[in-house]
């Protein structure tokens, strides 16, 4: 029964792509589902309308339409090396697609394709284990997990694409122990420069992995660091600190210093302030952020209470402490400009881990937390998944066939 709709999803894609996408979700592990998921993500990116002036996609489309056709591939790389641009993924995409089109829809189809690959992989890793009974509650956790970077996140293509690559890299490095994913980890800098801040932290945690794998160690200090940083983040306002000190450091090159200068410039600060003032999501989400942090605090306390009785794979048991420390970094990062975005990645790690924990440990107390999750994350689900998907795209993506969407 599960194979039938999944096998039909690929031919259905021509007649109703969105319905094909929904069918593919019945069995995300199948190769057919992988193809349909990425195809729909590509078409989803293509369906962007670029009419919302407050959206990143609107500004990217404006720049792309006016981008100089004479800008070369090599020239863009040299500009990046000199520190003239902070990262290279977006600008190289401009150069490549500007050779044959001025239509930003094709550019965002490419963004949707790349985003879709890593969005699919993140879900695949989440569900890469045998399910126990009561999958309805597992679905709730999956929905929360997906809400941090749904397909509409293609709108903020640079950071959000890098965030998914970062997530997939960390899972492969710490859970599946595949060092080849160091390439994925370092590639995030080329997509969004801010990841240069977190990579040294991840390398440090990789070196400490044998320490966290020991069952004889006492990890109480990890919980203490987590609780202190979480509580501090409730008191210290967002953007309280500046990262300007990094650009004056003797430890970084002139090129990197110029990139920090661009990222921490007065113009960039004003742009972030303008977005905060004009964005409904940023204003309302601040209040939900407090609720989420309190919810996470209570959930981690519950996990600690049951820590000695948890039935977990060895790699997931050691990964708990890695995730808690990364979330601690996220709480600290939320007090610097735009740093709160790293906390969203930390939450994504946390719900990946909680999915594995609940799947193997059906404690009643965990079920109570899951019951309240849709309420706690209601704003994120409604805004990031529903509202943005509808407001940023042409409505034909939801009911049209492939050719109708393509020529709409």
Distance CA 395, CA 408 (A): 10
408 is a domain residue: no
Distance in Å from the first CA to the final CA of the chain: 35
pLDDT of 4: 54
Q: pLDDT confidence of 256, banded at 50, 70, 90? A: low
Decide if pLDDT at 408 tops 90: no
157 is a domain residue: no
Distance CA 171, CA 175 (A): 5
Which one has a higher pLDDT value, 4 or 363?
363
Is residue 326 within 8 A of residue 346, CB to CB? The reply is yes
Cβ-Cβ contacts under 8 Å for 351 (sequence gap 6 or more): 141, 144, 145, 148
Distance CA 50, CA 56 (A): 9
Decide if pLDDT at 86 tops 90: no
With left for phi above 0 and alpha for psi between -120 and 50, is residue 312 left, alpha or beta? beta
What separation in angstroms does the CA of 406 have from each of 101, 130, 325, 396? 15, 38, 45, 10
Q: pLDDT confidence of 286, banded at 50, 70, 90? A: confident
71 is a domain residue: no
Is residue 383 within 8 A of residue 155, CB to CB? The reply is no
The burial class, CB within 10 Å (0-12 / 13-18 / 19+), for 204 is exposed
For the stretch 103-144, pLDDT in tens is: 999 999 999 999 999 999 999 999 988 776 667 899 999 999
pLDDT of 134: 63
Poorest-pLDDT segment among 97-111, 150-164, 305-319: 305-319
What separation in angstroms does the CA of 74 have from each of 35, 177, 219? 33, 35, 49
Q: Return the HEC string of the chain.
A: CCHHHHHHHHHHHHHCHHHHHHHHHHHCCCHHHHHHHHHHHHHHHHCECCCCCCCHHHHHHHHHHHCCCCCCHHHHHHHHHCCCCCCCHHHHHHHHHHCCCCCHHHHHHHHHHHHHHHHHHHHHHHCCCCCCCCHHHHHHHHHHHHHCCCHHHHHHHHHHHHHHHHHHHHHHHHCCCCHHHHHHHHHHHHHCHHHHCCHHHHHHHHHCHHHHCCCCCCCHHHHHHHHHHHHHHHHCCCCCCCCHHHHCCCCCCHHHHHHHHHHCCHHHHHHHHHHHHHCHHHHHHHHHHHHHHHHHHHHHHHHHHCHHHCCCCHHHHHHHHHHHHHHHHHHHHCCCCCCHHHHHHHHHHHHHHHHHHHHHCCCHHHHHHHHHHHHHCHHHHHHHHHHHHHHHECCHHHHCCHHHHHHC
28 is a domain residue: no
Domains: count for the chain: 1
Query: What average pLDDT is seen over the chain?
Result: 87
Q: pLDDT confidence of 1, banded at 50, 70, 90? A: very low
pTM beyond 0.85: the answer is yes
Q: pLDDT confidence of 204, banded at 50, 70, 90? A: very high
78 is a domain residue: no
37 is a domain residue: no
Sign of the CA dihedral 258, 166, 369, 215?
negative
10 is a domain residue: no
Distance CA 398, CA 334 (A): 35
Is residue 169 within 8 A of residue 345, CB to CB? The reply is no
- Which structural domain, as residue segments, surrounds residue 205? 195-392
Nearest of 372, 221, 361 to residue 299 by alpha carbon = 372
216 is a domain residue: yes
For the stretch 38-57, pLDDT in tens is: 999 999 999 999 998 889 99
């Amino acid at each position: 029964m599960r194979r039938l709709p999944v096998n039909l999803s690929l031919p259905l894609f021509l007649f109703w792509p969105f319905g094909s996408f929904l069918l593919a979700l019945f069995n995300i592990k199948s190769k057919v589902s992988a193809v349909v998921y990425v195809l729909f993500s590509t078409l989803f990116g293509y369906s962007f309308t670029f009419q919302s002036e407050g959206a990143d996609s609107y500004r990217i489309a404006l720049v792309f339409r006016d981008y100089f056709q004479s800008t070369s591939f090599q020239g863009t790389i040299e500009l990046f090396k000199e520190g003239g641009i902070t990262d290279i993924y977006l600008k190289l995409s401009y150069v490549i697609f500007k050779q044959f089109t001025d239509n930003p829809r094709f550019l965002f189809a490419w963004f949707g394709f790349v985003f879709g690959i890593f969005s699919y992989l993140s879900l695949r890793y989440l569900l890469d284990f045998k399910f126990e009974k009561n999958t309805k509650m597992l679905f709730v956790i999956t929905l929360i997990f997906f809400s941090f970077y749904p397909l509409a996140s293609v709108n903020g293509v640079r950071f959000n694409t890098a965030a998914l690559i970062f997530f997939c890299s960390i899972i492969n490095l710490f859970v599946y122990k595949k060092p080849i994913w160091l390439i994925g980890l370092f590639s995030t800098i080329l997509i969004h420069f801010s990841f240069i801040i977190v990579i040294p932290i991840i390398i440090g945690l990789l070196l400490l992995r044998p320490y966290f794998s020991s069952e004889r160690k006492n990890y109480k200090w990890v919980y203490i660091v987590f609780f202190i940083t979480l509580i501090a983040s409730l008191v210290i306002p967002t953007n309280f600190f500046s990262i300007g000190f990094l650009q004056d450091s003797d430890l970084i090159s002139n090129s990197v210093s110029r990139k920090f200068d661009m990222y921490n410039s007065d113009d960039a600060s004003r742009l972030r302030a303008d977005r905060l003032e004009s964005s409904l999501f940023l204003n309302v989400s601040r209040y939900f952020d407090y609720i989420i942090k309190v919810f996470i605090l209570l959930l981690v306390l519950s996990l600690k209470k049951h820590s000695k009785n948890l039935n977990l794979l060895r790699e997931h048991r050691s990964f708990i402490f890695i995730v808690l420390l990364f979330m601690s970094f996220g709480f600290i990062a939320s007090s610097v400009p735009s740093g709160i975005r790293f906390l969203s990645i930390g939450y994504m790690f946390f719900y990946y881990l909680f999915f594995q924990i609940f799947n193997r440990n059906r404690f009643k107390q965990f079920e109570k937390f899951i019951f309240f999750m849709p309420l706690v994350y209601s704003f994120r689900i409604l805004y990031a998944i529903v509202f943005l998907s509808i407001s940023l795209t042409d409505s034909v993506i939801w009911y049209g066939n492939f050719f109708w969407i393509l020529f709409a």
